[in-house]
Chains A and B, each alone.
Chain A
């Protein structure tokens, strides 16, 4: 089935709906009763400490872990259908990628098209156009033939966003997009993701870095094995929910952000 992204459907719809999600790894409870709804066409931030369950929640959205209880729906249906249709894209964390791997930036972006191709995954003219357009959108056209590890931290992130665009994904999951990225690249990525949301795509970003959040995210969810608080930056970045999310410790920069968003 071919499916290209065709803009935002009228009316705010729910891209991701998670209800009562519980995931256990051996004796550890990684997620305990997560309830989360994500409207399409917005940038959502998922914020929590290391070990708060951000990555597990991402894996659950992708169907990589089996929940012990609860449900995950993407676009109102079980996630497997959305994956097969190429509606979900994922940009991995830095440490999950082998940066010495012998693939070019263009090769990586081309992998976004594979779900729609035949058994040999040979690219056609339409695929090449989609790849070129995606590279152009993230401003990596000039670097397309570089080996993927020859890019800077911010460029690497954009390459994976381009893969999601070439795929025609409506929902982009980005794991720690600001890790190892300098301030200027952070602004470029923020502008890019805001633009993609304006086109009607849904962006879900996980981060433990609060500084970038108010400018990037329309909605924020604080997570600490369950969703502690959800809302706009101003609603959520307050002392009580932050203390609950960060285990009693309220990061000073978070409070300054709260004043700034007032």
Chain B
């Protein structure tokens, strides 16, 4: 029993572990809330795009000594604007526009990181480094996470309306374009939060999996928000502990736990549906007799 408690409490004597857990929880919560809308809107590819496109911004911010959040946000929202512009002004389809813009910016980031002599650890940016987050990074992550969660929850009914039926929003004088812009802005900011925990490559998992898991388990949006938040925070905390004890990649561990949750939810729903189908078949048979 003491072993079990110690497994959780022993790492807490280290400041870096306390910081890591704080960042992990903030990241898990912010991503989970946003992921509910991204899943319903089918914006996975957009999430992947924004997360990769911030790389040159992060590299430049480190080189210039500016807060990494500013560089990431400029390039993240820039990518969104470029994708939208390319989509509107050419016959290139949206998925192609997304693919071109984000790989182009990601490649630019790789080139910058390789030619600019600096202390940048590309591995940490790409795969996250939650066990080595600096204090100023923590403040940025907590501040941004709080703002994103507050705004999303405050406007959640409008955002559900936008995701479900933008035409109706327009019909009653609520601008779907403004709500779309709000979600895209939240996406660019959330990517910044998630970068610290799991790194650029795995951010998209944080942005999609919690919402998709919750979507399988409920038919109510408010419950979906709660399930996604609980599962995601749990995954981020467990992933951080597991990575500490097993000396494994933190981002990798967090996303593994998230994926296990999804598989479990999928299995549970499939099992329950099969049971249900058998029951109804039996009822029909009994009824027929």
Measuring CB to CB, which residues of chain A are less than 8 angstroms from any residue of chain B? 62-64, 80, 83-86, 88-90, 92, 96-98, 101-104, 107-108, 111-112, 114-115, 119-122, 147, 150, 163, 167
Contact = CB atoms under 8 A, between A and B. Distances in A.
A122 B167 CA distance: 21
Which 3 interchain pairs have the tightest Cβ spacing? A115-B172, A84-B173, A121-B157
B160 A62 contact: no
Contacts of A90: 167-168, 171
15 contacts: A62-B170, A83-B171, A84-B173, A89-B168, A92-B167, A102-B215, A102-B220, A103-B220, A103-B221, A111-B165, A114-B169, A115-B172, A122-B157, A150-B219, A167-B172
A119 B155 CA distance: 7
Contacts, number: 76
Contact of B170 (A63, A96, A150): A63
A64 B40 CA distance: 23
A22 B123 CA distance: 57
B125 interface: no
B200 interface: no
Contacts of B154: 119-120
B122 interface: no
A89 B171 CA distance: 7
B61 interface: no
B163 interface: yes
B171 A88 contact: yes
Contacts of A114: 157-158, 161, 169, 172, 174
Contact of B168 (A63, A101, A102, A111): A111
Nearest to A117: B157
Contacts of A120: 154-155, 157
A101 B40 contact: yes
A115 B165 CA distance: 14
Main SS class of interface, A: mixed
A92 B164 CA distance: 11
Contact of A98 (B158, B164, B167, B170): B164
B224 interface: yes
Contacts of A88: 171
A65 to B, nearest CB: 11
Given A92-B165, A103-B220, 7 more contacts: A62-B170, A80-B173, A83-B170, A84-B173, A111-B164, A114-B174, A150-B219
B157 A147 contact: no
Contacts of B103: none
A86 B173 contact: yes
Contacts of B218: 102
B167 A62 contact: yes
B39 to A, nearest CB: 10
B185 to A, nearest CB: 17
Nearest to B221: A102
Q: Name which of A84, A103, A120 has the most chain B CB atoms within 10 A of its CB.
A: A103
Contact of A163 (B163, B168, B219): B168
Contact of A83 (B40, B163, B173): B173
Contacts of B160: 103, 107
A26 to B, nearest CB: 9
Nearest to B40: A101
A98 B40 contact: yes
B154 to A, nearest CB: 6
Contact of A101 (B164, B172, B174): B164
Contacts of A92: 165, 167-168
Nearest to A79: B171
Interface in B159-200: 160-161, 163-165, 167-174
Given A114-B157, A121-B157, A103 B164 contact: yes
A92 B170 CA distance: 13
Q: Name which of B167, B170, B218, B224 has the most chain A CB atoms within 10 A of its CB.
A: B167
B171 A62 contact: yes
Interface string B11-45: 00000000000000000000000000000100000
Contacts of A86: 172-173
A150 B220 CA distance: 13
A228 to B, nearest CB: 27
